[in-house]
Amino acid sequence: MIEIMQPPVEPFKIKVVEPVIIPSEERRKEAIREAGFNTFLLLSEDVFIDLLTDSGTSAMSDNQWAGMMMGDEAYAGSKNFYHLEQAIEDVLGFKYVVPTHQGRGAEHLMFQHLVKPGQIVPRNMYFTTSKLHVEIPGGKMVDTIIDEAHDPDNLHPFKGNMDLNKLQEYVDDYGPEKIACVSVEMNVNMAGGQPVSMENLRNLREFCNKYNLKIIYDATRSSENAYFIREREKGYENTPIIDILKEMMSYADGCIHSSKKDCLVNIGGFLATHDKEIFEGARNMVVVYEGLHTYGGMAGRDMEAVARGLREGAQYEYLNYRINQVRYLGELLKEANVPIVKPIGGHAVFLDALKFLPHLEREQWPAQTLAGAIYEDSAVRSMERGAVSKGRDKETGENVFPALELVRLTIPRRVYTNTHIEYTAGSIISLYEKRDTIPGLKMVYEPKYLRFFQSRFEQIEL
């Protein structure tokens, strides 16, 4: 692994700026209480540096904005759809495309088409919306990521890999007909932005061919995954990112894609596949839930921005800057001994809340607590990715406490400077030095679905 202490030089210059201000200490204290210690409920105005998510928060390029002016807002057959279709074929190699308003729209179509009641979907760790869209048609998502992924200190270079032994057990226990499809997420978000290796994808394809199982990728962060393959996997050191992407996708039957991440846009998504039958199924449904099959909930201009962004987001120079800016934040924290998930992932740095706040019980929601404390200190907004996000067991109704109880500092693409990164690191380091003064939380409001978005908390006296 390369040790990076120098901030990466940005491969762009700034043409438009958006002012941001740091709210006063008094206002920060008030704001986090008004939000019930849930950073999702903070007003964006009260935030100085917003690391809540990398979803839909990218800065678009002059090329993408120029494309927005070329929107063909025809109800049917917009030329921007054909540009999008072409970009997906050129970058990812998929022939069939169904546009959707964002990633979960594609998940809805894909899993409603593939999943029957009682079936399972093995996957390399869950993602919130994906898990829910498997459960709605009566399925269950089961975890088949390698054990190393659950250990925040393990330095495995491809912690997103599927464990084929675990998959074999599911095949043996349930029988292949009970497996709706095998789902593989690229650069696994909930594991800390950890990549899947090409070798693993190749072996998985071979495995699934034996049992006639379909493989569906969550290709949302596949460009960042491709960068890691080039960086870490033997034989790919000089391979163009697009060739790596095409090979990755050649091992899948289809994918869902939230364009709000690697495609450098604010909204959009799609489903893409090599499989005519999946395509026909999804295309029949898209008109019910999203819009006509040549816009699927996006304006023509949005599709143009996705088409251009998909190409830009797969350029090596951009990805090299992107991954190394995330790494710069991680290295600054690591150097100050702040506990983070290692290796540093693609889109975010994850703080290990169990090690950061060891004096708190799991029921005191350490990650939720830490996210609130960071905001109060510096007006930097982060996100809980632990037991609150995980939710309750569907059958027992009990809270599930995953091995990883994390706070995610997600870096929007091309938005913040390296000075913003240094400010953020400085705040977290100072908080770490006074960590035992931070009180835990109790949950006082819990919604039924995706509770992390709207649940509310109160501080417990220390």
Ligand X SMILES: *Cc1c(COP(=O)(O)O)cnc(C)c1O
Q: Does 133 bind ligand X (CB under 6 A)?
A: no
From residue 166 to residue 205, what is the string marking binding to ligand X with x (rule CB under 6 A)? -------------------x---x----------------
CB atoms under 10 Å from CB of 248, counted, come to: 25
Q: What one-character-per-residue DSSP string does 92-160 give?
A: H--SEEEEESSHHHHHHHHHHHH--TT-EEEESS--HHHHHHHHTTT-EEEE-B-GGGG-TT---TTTT
The helix (H) or strand (E) run that includes residue 406 is strand 406-410
Nearest to 329, CA basis, from 244, 407, 428, 242: 428
Q: Which is nearer to ligand X, 130 or 200 (CB)?
A: 130
Among 160, 269, 345, 346, binds ligand X (CB under 6 A): 269
The helix (H) or strand (E) run that includes residue 279 is helix 276-289
Site for ligand X in 371-400 (CB under 6 A): none
Q: Which is nearer to ligand X, 265 or 441 (CB)?
A: 265
From residue 71 to residue 100, what is the string marking binding to ligand X with x (rule CB under 6 A)? ------------------------------
Measured CA to CA, the distance from residue 213 to residue 132 in angstroms comes to 21
Measured CA to CA, the distance from residue 337 to residue 461 in angstroms comes to 27
Is 75 a known active-site residue?
A: yes
CB of 378 to ligand X, least distance (A): 25
Q: Which is nearer to ligand X, 327 or 408 (CB)?
A: 408
Catalytic residue among 53, 57, 128, 424: 128
Q: Which is nearer to ligand X, 28 or 385 (CB)?
A: 385
CB of 139 to ligand X, least distance (A): 16
Q: Supply φ then ψ for residue 273, to 5 degrees.
A: -155, 160
Site for ligand X in 222-261 (CB under 6 A): 258, 260-261
Q: Does 220 bind ligand X (CB under 6 A)?
A: yes
Q: Which is nearer to ligand X, 77 or 447 (CB)?
A: 447
Q: Which is nearer to ligand X, 185 or 312 (CB)?
A: 185
Query: Which residue is closest to ligand X by CB?
Result: 103
Q: Does 103 bind ligand X (CB under 6 A)?
A: yes
State how far Cα 225 lies from the chain centre.
11
Is 82 a known active-site residue?
A: no
Q: Does 104 bind ligand X (CB under 6 A)?
A: yes
- Show the 3-state SS of 295-313: CCCCCHHHHHHHHHHHHHC
Measured CA to CA, the distance from residue 188 to residue 85 in angstroms comes to 25
Q: Does 130 bind ligand X (CB under 6 A)?
A: yes
Measured CA to CA, the distance from residue 408 to residue 344 in angstroms comes to 12
Is 321 a known active-site residue?
A: no
First to last CA, the chain: 40
From residue 22 to residue 61, what is the string marking binding to ligand X with x (rule CB under 6 A)? ---------------------------------x------
Q: Does 312 bind ligand X (CB under 6 A)?
A: no
Measured CA to CA, the distance from residue 335 to residue 332 in angstroms comes to 5
What is the maximal distance between C-alpha atoms in the chain?
Answer: 62
- Reduce the DSSP state of residue 172 to 3 states and report it: helix
> Which stretches of the chain bind ligand X, using CB under 6 A?
55, 102-104, 127, 129-130, 185, 189, 218, 220, 258, 260-261, 269
Q: Which residues are catalytic?
A: 75, 127-128, 218, 261, 385, 452
